[in-house]
Amino acid sequence: MNYNIAVLPGDGIGPEIIEQAKKAITAVGKKFNHTFNFNHGFVGAIAIDKTGSPFPAETFELCKSSDAVLFGAIGDPKYDNNPAAKIRPEQGLLAMRKDLGLYANVRPVTTFTALLGKSPLKKEIVEGVDIMMIRELTGGIYFGKPQGRSEDGNTAYDSCAYSRYEIERIVRLACECAMKRSKKVTVVDKANVLATSRLWRETAAEIARDYKEITMDFMFVDNAAMQLIQFPKKFDVIATENMFWDILSDEASVLTGSLGLLPSASVGTYTSVFEPIHGSYPQAAGKNIANPLGTILSAAMMFELAFNLKKEAEAIRTAVEKSIDAGFVTEDLNRSDPKSTSAVGDWIADYILGN
């Protein structure tokens, strides 16, 4: 098969980690007789520098015409440290989500046996954790209008709005995902305070009637934050709104012991985007020390969700797990004998080809 992949390395460590994912994808192509065409585009700070826009029209068209998008990270200190900047790299991410119709983000949170000691929580709490977190990505307070400040600058305001349709498609996606897992969905909201959360709860309860095999429960976001730390194994699929998920997913990510391990997928109307959950980590850019595993695992998600190539996805996941078992990992996971970003990418590609 022949596939076209839009590659958006972005900023900071983005180009380095994306290169390692490309190695794994190329190895899979050789092993399973597929052809992958990589077409590169700009997004984020580098796009601002080159075009004046954090998500140029050319990048949008490239993404729309591709079978999937492999994305690195965005962010640059020269914008982060300038509160007066009118154009920011993060605006490119929001524009990409909106323009490509990326309405849901899917993030698996799983632990690796060899790395249980890296988690800040006790082994018995995190061993066997396997959570799928599903986020509504284009609504809520991040996109709400009106938004702004008073004329004197002393008051600021944001708006949070949700339609039934936006909620329905997320909850249905969560239920379909749960049907392939343990058939349990937890909907996280703040229905005791927020009108939007009451609509979430009402809509989810209606959809649950269409999935008789699914057990659906509801949890206030503050309680969910506590229980993710106390009893993470009680969760299977979590569905929630944009900002709640943004916070809870970063909390859940520490269960694994490293942000660098976690992949994600953003499901869209035109195409889907696959990316690691971490940021651009500018302090490490160009040093060949960044952990590429989250990006490589994002490529595995791409094979499974965008291309329906399950054996190919499993080949990548197996190679990543073997590299972890062998201790052939970057300094965030092995300080006594760290390997470089590129060396880890080479090891995983070689393992895929040799097994």
Is 142 part of the annotated catalytic residue set? yes
Handedness of CA 107, 112, 14, 243 (dihedral sign): positive
What average pLDDT does the chain have?
Answer: 94
- CATH superfamily assigned to domain 1-110+257-355: Isopropylmalate Dehydrogenase (3.40.718.10)
Tell me which of 123, 210, 217, 222 is the catalytic residue: 222
**What pLDDT is recorded for position 83?**
72
Distance CA 262, CA 317 (A): 12
Tell me which of 22, 23, 190, 339 is the catalytic residue: 190
Q: How far is CA 8 from the centre of its chain?
A: 15
Is 250 part of the annotated catalytic residue set? yes
Give yes or no on whether 1-110+257-355 and 120-132+160-255 have one common fold: no
Is 222 part of the annotated catalytic residue set? yes
> What residues contact 278, with CB distance under 8 A and at least 6 apart?
73, 259, 260, 262, 294
Determine what percent of the chain is predicted with pLDDT higher than 90.
Answer: 86
**Tens of pLDDT, residues 142-169:** 888 999 999 998 999 999 999 999 999 9
The CA–CA distances, whole Å, from 173 to 70, 96, 132, 167 equal 22, 21, 11, 10
> Residue 85, SS3?
coil
Tell me which of 31, 64, 142, 322 is the catalytic residue: 142
**What pLDDT is recorded for position 79?**
83
**What residues does each domain of the chain span?**
1-110+257-355, 120-132+160-255
Question: Quick one: pLDDT band at residue 25, thresholds 50, 70, 90?
Answer: very high
**Tens of pLDDT, residues 212-245:** 999 999 999 999 999 999 999 999 999 999 999 9
**Tens of pLDDT, residues 301-346:** 999 999 999 999 999 999 999 999 999 999 999 999 999 999 999 9
Tell me which of 67, 130, 246, 346 is the catalytic residue: 246
For residue 275, pLDDT over 90 is answered with yes
**Tens of pLDDT, residues 67-116:** 999 999 999 998 877 777 788 898 998 899 889 999 999 999 999 988 89
**What pLDDT is recorded for position 159?**
95
**What pLDDT is recorded for position 287?**
97
Q: Which of 290, 189, 294 is nearest to 248 (CA)?
A: 189
**What pLDDT is recorded for position 260?**
84
Tell me which of 250, 270, 322, 346 is the catalytic residue: 250
Is 270 part of the annotated catalytic residue set? no
Please give the class, per CATH, of domain 120-132+160-255. alpha beta
